[in-house]
Each structure stands twice: as structure tokens, then as C-alpha cells.
A and B are shown apart, each in its own frame.
Chain A
Amino acid sequence: MSARRLGFFLLTFLIVGLSLLPFLWFVDTSLKSAVQVTAIPPTVVPEGSLAFYRSAVRNYNLLHFLRNSAIVAGLTTLITIGLGTFAGYALARLRFRFKGLFLGALLVVSMFPQISMAGPIWRILRSLGWLNSYQGLIIPYVTLTLPLGVWILASFFKELPAEIEDAARVDGAGHVQTLFRIVVPLAAPGVFTAAILVFIYAWNEFFFALLVMTQQKYQTLPVGIALFQGQYTLPWGEIAAASTVATVPIVLVVFFFQRRIVSGLAAGAVKG
């Protein structure tokens, strides 16, 4: 092996190690016994017990958080992809005035700082009686994920050959039929990519979840994990267990769909 190849190999090894080891340490912690968590010197091999997972479920409402996160992230993804498909198709295929303005106004939203909208959104939701409700969180999430969703979908729709739609129209299909029967199925990979990114955003979001969900019953995983508090000390084992539960679905998605995520992110960030 030449010196250059060795250097490249070591660099790759270092990057992968630094990316994974801190989190693997946390996963390891979640599997330890209470004594092992604070032991000096630290032990690497866990006793293999699931005690912290059981405790997180029993004493810290882990399953509640999990269910709330699944509902909020799932519905956000469905609604954003639905509305994003409509708007993305219009932007990619149809001609209308103020298209650039519409697109610009949409994309700028993803750059707004959360705090600049927080007070008013909190007031609006309170006056609607929607604090501590699923729709109270889903609606802001849809708003914030639409720019990314629309942009990715529009760029995928644009790449489809227009002749197929023309043919469908010649055969007498209307606008709506063409969109749902022809365009969406053909753009399925793009729809899927957008859905993954929207889901990850909604699953991980913390700021608005913290404001909207003040009752534990409605809190999502990130809020639950941030507010975990024992009576005297921090329950690190339970925090690590809940963190692992919150992260495993996302890590699986990343490992299976890394190619799509990379292309989706590049398209979303560089173009929008």
C-alpha cells in the first residue's frame, strides 16, 4: 500500500470513527447497569440489561413520547407531501404570472428564525385553543417543511419528459387525472425523497414542540428527552435509552436511503 493510500485510509477511518463513536457510547450507556453508568474507569462491555428501557417506559412516559412523535411527524409528512405535490407540479409544469415571486416567497420561509415567529404563533394557537393539541404542532411543521418539500418535488417533476403528459392529455385525461395517474407515480422516487427529509425534520424538531406541548401527555420525543429530570440527579441511563429509541428509526433510514438523502439535501440546499 502506498503512503498516500494509507493516509487516505486512515483519514476515512478517523472520520467514520469520530462520526459514530460518541453516539455508540450513548447507546452502550443505555444498556448498562446503574452502577456501570457512573463508574470510573468506565466500562465498555455493558451488562446487557434492558433495565433503563423498562424504567424509561414505566417512569418517564417513553411510549407516550414515541406515539406523539409518530403521529405528529407522520401527519406532517402526509400533509406536506400532499400540498407540496400540488404546488411543485404547478411550479414545474404550468405557466402563470408571478411564478418567481411565489417561489422566492416560499423559499425565504425556510430561513426564518423560529424565535421571530414564536410569540405570535403561540398567541394564535392559544386563541384557537390549540396549545397541547396535535394540530397545534402539525400546522407550524407543515408551514416550515413546505419550502423544502415543494422545491424537491418541483425539481423531480421537471425532470420527467413532458411528452408523456401531453399524450395523456391527447387521450382525454384532465389536469387532475394527469397529475395523479401519470406524474406522481413516475416521480415516486422524488416524492419518497421529499417525504424522508420532511419526516426527519418533524421527528427531530424541538423549539416549537417545546412551546406548543406544555402538558407531558402531548410531548414529543425531543421535548421528553430534553426535560428528563430525576429527583436528585440526571437519570443518564434512561436519557440514553430514550435517545437510542428516538434515533434508531432515523439511523436506519439513513443507512438504507443515504444516496437519496444526499441528492435531496444537495438539491434542497443549493437550489433552495
Chain B
Amino acid sequence: MTLGASARDKLFVAALLTPCLLFVVVFAYYPIAYSFYLSLHKIVLSLPALGQPFVGLENYRTLLRDGVALRSLTNTALFAFFSVGLEILFGLLIALVIHRRFKGRGIVRAAVLVPWAIPTVVTSQMWRFIFNDKYGLLNFALHGADVGSYTAWLADPGFAFGAIVVADVWKASAFAGLLILAGLQGIPEELYEAARIDGANAWQRFRRVTLPLLKPAILVALLFRTMDAFRVFDLVFVMTQGGPADATNVLQFYGYKKIFAEGLMGYGSTISVLVFVVTFAVAMMYIRVVGTRLFGREA
């Protein structure tokens, strides 16, 4: 017996999609759900005899009273605020530069992509070296050979926080720039012609034509980068290990420490649920913005 055409089509679609679906369900959706489940249990990896007793919302109550967790939440939010803010600003500058046609534009585009493309671990070690208290480039640039006035950047709470922001901004500004560039390329040239005929100068054209029309692209870059900033890990792991005095402790690093260094699988999962909820809220806003944009474009 041969299958009818429509049954064969269905089988073909199923064969194409099933492997992909299997991966995503088993190694992404199931783990997320499993994290929720774990967060309702008391699990200490070093005490297997304890078993996995169900404790309801106890881990969540602990979380609300955990000063370090709240500090990590604040740090993560501040990190997102400062680094994403600066990335949008520099991204806009980068986008305006590489949008122009000029000789060597390809090389300029490749150069600004380099920080985005190199491993974050390398970025982190590189900036850790530049911020080094004894022989780092930053101290030398500020104080020359006057070693007595050198600052231990990564040992000072405020400066260490600034240092991870600097490293992130260096790495991610170009990415924000590319998203904004995509928006720039969508602005019709006639609008600038019309503005020029009306006597608008360069600044007025930027304020009245470019910025308003770039708003959706800037919003996309803002949300995309915010989502990423809430997941920051590599920079903190390599540059500061959350220190000094938890000044650079961020949620994802704190959760990692609780689960894998201290073996608190249950409580650590509660932190991971918090990270998920916060990131998911930003992601949903992002999808709404991108969704309406796509819809608008196709209509």
C-alpha cells in the first residue's frame, strides 16, 4: 500500500522537524521546567543522605532574606543600565560611521566587529591585564612611572564594577551598532532630500529625521543587549569572581556559585528561576517589538 500524497507530505514535514524539536525539548525546555521543580526542594549535593525533601516556597523565602542575592540583583540591574546605555550611545556613533560610503569601509566594519567576535574570556583576561595594579596600562597612562600613586582597580568595589562595565561596553557596542545600522539602512534617502530642500541643517536632519525613524531599531538593540546583560557571567568569573566584597556579584554568577561551588542545588535553582523570570520579561517585550516590526514590514 502506498501512502497518499498528503500523508507523505506530512511524514516529510515530521521527519524534517522532529530532530530539531527533540534537542530543544530535551535540552532546553525540560531543564527549565526541571529547575522550577528543583527550586521547590531542599537538595545539598554534599549531603546525599538528605534526599530531596519537598520544601514548598522555603527557598524563595530564603532568597528574599538573602542580602547577597539582593545585592546581586541590584548589581545585575545596575550593570545592565550602565553598560547597555553606553553601548547604545557608542553603537549609534558606530552605526552612523559605517553607514556612510567611503574608501576602506569594509576594513572599518571588520575592525569594529573584532571585539564582538573574540571570546569573552579573552576580553576578560585582556582587560584584567590592562587594569592590573602593578603593571597595567591604565595606571601607566594615568600616572606614568609614578608607581606610588597607582590604583588597585579590581580591588576597589566601585572601580571593579566600572571595570566590568568598560569590558562589556568594549565588547558589545559594535553589536548594538549593527542592529542600529540595519535601521539606518531602512530610512529612505528622499526624506533627507526633502529636509535639505526645507533648509534643515545636519543636526536638524539628525534630530528630526534620523532619530525618530531609528527609534524602533534602537529599542530592539536596547532590549537585545539588556537581555544579554542580565546573563553576564564570563566577565565576572574571570575579572573579579564577584568581588571585592560582592561589588561585582551578579545573579548568574551567584547562582553558579551556589549550585556548583557550594552544592546547593535546590537554593541555587531558586536563583536561576529568578534570572529566568527577569530575562523572560525582557525577552517578551523584545519579541513584541520585533514582532510588530516584522508584521509592519510585511503588510
Contact = CB atoms under 8 A, between A and B. Distances in A.
19 contacts: A4-B202, A19-B115, A26-B122, A26-B125, A26-B129, A40-B147, A41-B145, A90-B17, A111-B280, A112-B28, A114-B252, A119-B31, A206-B233, A206-B234, A225-B125, A243-B122, A246-B122, A253-B117, A265-B178
A150 to B, nearest CB: 7
B27 A258 contact: no
Contacts of B94: 15
A175 B8 CA distance: 10
Contacts of A116: 31-32, 35, 272-273, 275-276, 279
Nearest to B252: A115
B114 A251 contact: yes
B10 interface: yes
A146 to B, nearest CB: 6
Contact of B30 (A118, A120, A243): A120
Interface string B30-68: 111011001000000000000000000000000000000
B83 interface: no
B121 interface: yes
B114 A20 contact: yes
Nearest to A210: B237
Interface string B281-292: 001001100100
A50 interface: no
- Of all A-B residue pairs in the complex, the 4 with the closest CB atoms, nearest first, are A120-B31, A120-B34, A117-B31, A116-B276
B120 A206 contact: yes
Interface stretch (A51-59, A79-87, A160-168, A184-192): A79-87
Contacts of A121: 27, 31
Nearest to A196: B117
Interface string A96-129: 1000001011111101111111111111100000
A133 interface: no
Contacts of B158: none
Given A102-B21, A117-B35, A139-B23, 15 more contacts: A94-B16, A96-B10, A104-B287, A111-B279, A114-B252, A116-B273, A118-B255, A119-B272, A120-B35, A120-B38, A146-B24, A206-B120, A226-B234, A247-B119, A270-B290
Contacts of A139: 23, 27
Given A12-B108, A226-B237, A23 B115 contact: yes
Contact of A25 (B137, B145, B279): B137
B23 A142 contact: yes
Interface of B: 8-10, 12-13, 15-17, 19-21, 23-24, 26-32, 34-35, 38, 93-94, 97, 100, 102, 106, 108-115, 117-122, 124-127, 129-130, 134-135, 137, 140, 144-145, 147, 170, 174-175, 178-179, 181-182, 202, 217, 220, 224, 227, 230-231, 233-234, 237-238, 251-252, 255-256, 259-260, 265, 268-269, 271-273, 275-276, 279-280, 283, 286-287, 290, 293-294
A254 B20 CA distance: 28
B119 A262 contact: no
A1 interface: no
Interface in A10-44: 11-12, 15-16, 18-20, 22-23, 25-26, 29, 37-42
Contacts of B144: 41
A269 B16 contact: no
A90 B11 CA distance: 12
Output the residue of B24, B230, B252 with the most chain A CB within 10 A: B24
Interface residues of A, number: 92
Contacts of A8: 97, 100
A265 B25 CA distance: 25
A42 B281 CA distance: 47
Contacts of A39: 135
Describe A's contact surface by its main secondary structure: helix
Nearest to B231: A113
A224 B262 CA distance: 22
A42 B137 contact: yes
Contact of A19 (B100, B174, B251, B290): B174
Given A37-B135, A87-B20, A226-B238, A143 B119 contact: no
A147 B152 CA distance: 42
A113 B276 contact: yes
Contacts of B181: 262, 266
B272 to A, nearest CB: 4
A199 to B, nearest CB: 11
